[in-house]
Amino acid sequence: MAKPNRKSAGSVEEIELEQLQRGVVTLHIVGSTPMISSAMSQKAKESLLLPEVRQRKTKAQRAVSLKHNVIEEYRESVYRADDPCGARITMPAACFKNAIMTAALRSAGQTKAEIGQLTWVEGSHVEIYGAPKLLMMVTRSADIAKTPDVRTRAILPEWCCSVTISFIEPNIRLKTVVNLMHIAGLVSGLGDFRQEKMKGSFGRWRLVDGPNDPDYQRIMRQGAAVQDAALANPVAYNGETQRLWDWYESAVAAYNGSKKPAHSDEAVVIPFEAEGIEPDLMPTPAKRGRGRPPKSDVFHNGASA
């Protein structure tokens, strides 16, 4: 019976490592539709870090307290670079990688897992150029009732950036990466209400020939200085936002008895009269289980008797 060959104790086995080549490409993109930034606010992060620090408000406190701070929500909706090289506003690099992974589902010959494992976007964040504006939109919450709410975020009507992508050759070719970024700009997008989520078409982009593209150069001039000024002195994006914003500030100022800006550091509250509803006529909240009170004669089916 043949016995396996055994190497002596002093011998060293040579291991040959498989050589993989790394390719790198920098692509320049210009937004074809506005991009809505939706970074998590500092208040939300603190609640996740130490939930007991921020206690839940009672129903009475919520009824007379300010639910939204428009200016604060606008400023905190963007990802910021602490020490910007060119732009103050950034987006996580993972957003672009997720976009090309989604594009792989619409491209023949590539799988989402393969693109996710063999490509990556350099850096943790990508600088986004463009002047932001204040946007207020009616949205639906993720609860069962789909409760409506008004959210304030920053929107960039025009934006551009450069993305550096590394990939493993020869498994992934340069042509494949460029095509995936092109497809991602059409079917994925960036930010809130992007094309990928199917309910909006914001955040779409197109590839340009390089940094000498006229649109790219023009938007590149809207760097950190312009963005800081836009965040400090916001401008409404559209007429609906302007009307909501004007009503919000006038309601807060009327209650305070002054023309103090609504983004003052002092706590402010809005009374029921500012909503056009008298406190005595507020509907009684329904109780669960037995003993549920009858419907009010004033508020029946959402309308007064």
Length of the chain: 305
Phi, psi of 83, deg, nearest 5: -130, 80
* Residue 195: predicted pLDDT: 94
Burial class of residue 128 (count of CB atoms within 10 Å of its CB; 0-12, 13-18, 19+): buried
Does residue 291 sit within a domain? Answer: no
Does residue 252 sit within a domain? Answer: yes
* Residue 115: predicted pLDDT: 96
pTM: 0.76
Does residue 142 sit within a domain? Answer: yes
Domain containing 227 equals 21-42+60-271
Please write the tens of the pLDDT for every residue from 247-269: 999 988 886 765 444 444 444 44
Does residue 233 sit within a domain? Answer: yes
* Residue 251: predicted pLDDT: 85
Does residue 163 sit within a domain? Answer: yes
Does residue 293 sit within a domain? Answer: no
Please write the tens of the pLDDT for every residue from 193-249: 999 998 899 999 999 999 999 999 999 999 999 999 999 999 999 999 999 999 999
Q: Which residues of the chain have pLDDT under 70?
A: 1-10, 52-65, 255, 257-305
The count of domains in the chain is: 1
* Residue 297: predicted pLDDT: 45
* Residue 65: predicted pLDDT: 66
Does residue 13 sit within a domain? Answer: no
* Residue 19: predicted pLDDT: 80
Does residue 186 sit within a domain? Answer: yes
